[in-house]
A = this chain, B = another copy of it.
């Protein structure tokens, strides 16, 4: 079910303000059976108050059992079907380092590797070469010159870097050149469809020149191309919801995902405090605000229960700065669960609350995984949060007569 089929037709404009306050990886697990999760352990008086006056539930990012990455997790929150709109790995990597992809660009995740005298791979990750040694090599590859094509090369971390081709007639369906094993040469770039033949040829030329530039380098003298992909073609928030949307995020990945959905990236905040300042400063200029808080995820990934509890309390403490502005609809949730007991993203439903004047509240007294189970939103697919928010903001008209 693509919700945009209806929201595109039914949305109307008004002066309401919608805020999505997102704690990445919010959901968790107890440390022992019958115990409390990170969120249930944390002191969250402001979130509890919102849960009491609002409506709660558990959101399922993709479908039951599926642990999403940041891409599908956020797309679902933004109302884009995470199965229909798959962001290619190259495009996501470019987005993640803040590269602003344009229509028609092709993005590639590249790995440095080592090759023997016969051109066979000896180490697929070039011994996980340190970033301070790999970055200059990536920068050196900017010397590659291909007529009619702009070539961008951006260092990432360790053996990874990103390449973007910009030019006419490029499509992104080219197979990986990483053979996934050592003792064989990298594969030749091969188009998966006729429209991507030109891109494949450019890949061949890029590799040829890159190998010359890397020749004799002791740490990394080869490269592989992976996740070759075009800019994902998401309809914009303006088009499908009629919303002027702003993203207030610290990390490039989330700014990038928001930009793909047509949101404006507001400021360059480094702290939650600065994010809240930007929210107040931009309050009049936008209809929708996406505020991203990273540390509930990173502490979960670290397996640090206590730190996640602390970060959750920090997230809670900033709530009054949002409510002081009087949003018409405030949604608090995460893009997925990251239980510190698993040190990874997980499939568990994400605690979610929506506070708005006419939300029809439920019996929930606080904000937590178990309490959400008796909430009025029930268990629901995350992509339905956007139409619920629009409806509560008075921004959706009746469907059918």
Chain A residues close to B by CB (< 8 Å) = 1, 3, 5-6, 10, 29, 33-34, 37, 53, 58, 62-73, 82-83, 86-87, 89, 92-93, 96, 339, 341-342, 344-349, 358, 360-363, 369-370, 373-380, 384, 386-392, 396-401
Contact of A29 among B82, B83, B360, B388 (CB under 8 A): B360
Main secondary structure of the interface of A (DSSP, over half): loop
What are 28 sample pairs from A and B whose C-beta atoms fall under 8 A apart? Answer: A3-B65, A6-B62, A6-B63, A6-B66, A6-B83, A33-B53, A33-B361, A34-B361, A63-B387, A64-B380, A64-B384, A65-B387, A66-B387, A67-B397, A67-B398, A67-B399, A69-B398, A69-B400, A70-B400, A71-B401, A86-B400, A93-B401, A346-B358, A347-B396, A362-B370, A363-B373, A373-B375, A379-B380
The residues of B that contact A5 with a CB separation of less than 8 Å are: 83
Question: Hey, which chain B residues are within 8 Å of A346, CB to CB?
Answer: 358, 391
Cα A3 to Cα B358 with chains together (Å): 32
Docked CA distance A29–B66 (Å): 33
By Cβ-Cβ distance, the 10 closest A-B pairs, closest first, are A65-B387, A69-B400, A378-B379, A65-B391, A64-B384, A72-B400, A65-B388, A71-B400, A347-B391, A69-B401
- Among A64, A92, A370, max chain B CB count under 10 A is at A64
Q: Is the CB of B374 within 8 A of A358?
A: no
What residues of chain B lie closer than 8 Å to A33, measured between beta carbons?
53, 361
Whether the Cβ atoms of A65 and B390 lie closer than 8 Å is yes
Interfacial chain B residues near A53, Cβ < 8 Å: 33
Q: Please state if B339 and A391 are interface contacts (CB–CB under 8 Å).
A: no
Q: Is the CB of A66 within 8 A of B399?
A: yes
Other-chain contact of A396, B67, B96, B375, B386 (Cβ < 8 Å): B67
B71 contacts A1, C-beta separation under 8 Å: no
- Beta-carbon contact of A62 and B369 below 8 Å: no
Q: Check if B358 sits within 8 Å of A400, measured CB to CB.
A: no
Of chain B, the residue at the smallest CB distance from A109 is: B401
Known A-B contacts A92-B401, A93-B401, A360-B29; the reply to A3 vs B69 at CB < 8 A is: no
Are B358 and A363 interface neighbours, CB within 8 A? no
CB distance from A66 to the nearest CB of B (A): 5
